[in-house]
Amino acid sequence: MELIDAMFKRRSSRKFTDEPITKAELDMILKSALLAPTSRNRKPCNFLVVERKEILDELSRAKDHGAQFLKDADKAIVVLASEFESDTWCEDSSIALTYMHLMATDLGLGSCWVQIHLRERDGTDAEEIVRDIVGVDLHYRIVGILALGHLESQPEPHTPDDLDKSKVHFLV
């Protein structure tokens, strides 16, 4: 697929079938994460693949809203970035999440970003909750989780009409 076609086709998908993602598909998604650029090439991100239903279920309750569909995902990839390794952990994690989201689209799979950083469950920091679930130290920062699965139905791609050209400015 042309990159621009994948960009139009990319949608956030929250409904998945039970069909498992293959190892080859998962490998491609992880490759895309490892190809993402990082500031000063520090590579602070680690990618934790979660497949166990009980853990996906726990993750789906890690914040007040917008994570429920994780329980129906075939897999989730938790992006864990060490703040000791880079002060741009947030940017680096976001780029890796975006690369994986686009690669999933290219493979015909559904995916959705689940924001964890700056989110809460009943007043508790969602990053703290996810760190407890997956068992990592406090210095691991968690921008988000990518939910992955086979699409229940093909979402409508974006069209040129969706492009808000008023957001583009030229300084003359």
Ligand X SMILES: Cc1cc2nc3c(=O)[nH]c(=O)nc-3n(C[C@H](O)[C@H](O)[C@H](O)COP(=O)(O)O)c2cc1C
Residues that bind ligand X (CB under 6 A): 11-12, 14, 66, 112-115
Minimum CB distance to ligand X smaller for 11 or for 42 = 11
CB burial of residue 154 (10 Å; 0-12, 13-18, 19+): exposed
Minimum CB distance to ligand X smaller for 35 or for 163 = 163
| Shortest reach from residue 75's CB to ligand X, in Å | 16
Q: Cα-flanking dihedrals φ and ψ of residue 45, to 5°?
A: -90, 140
Q: What is d(CA 140, CA 130) in angstroms, rounded to the nearest whole number?
A: 10
| Shortest reach from residue 120's CB to ligand X, in Å | 12
Minimum CB distance to ligand X smaller for 22 or for 141 = 141
Beta strand pairing status for 110-115 and 144-149?
Answer: antiparallel
| Shortest reach from residue 111's CB to ligand X, in Å | 10
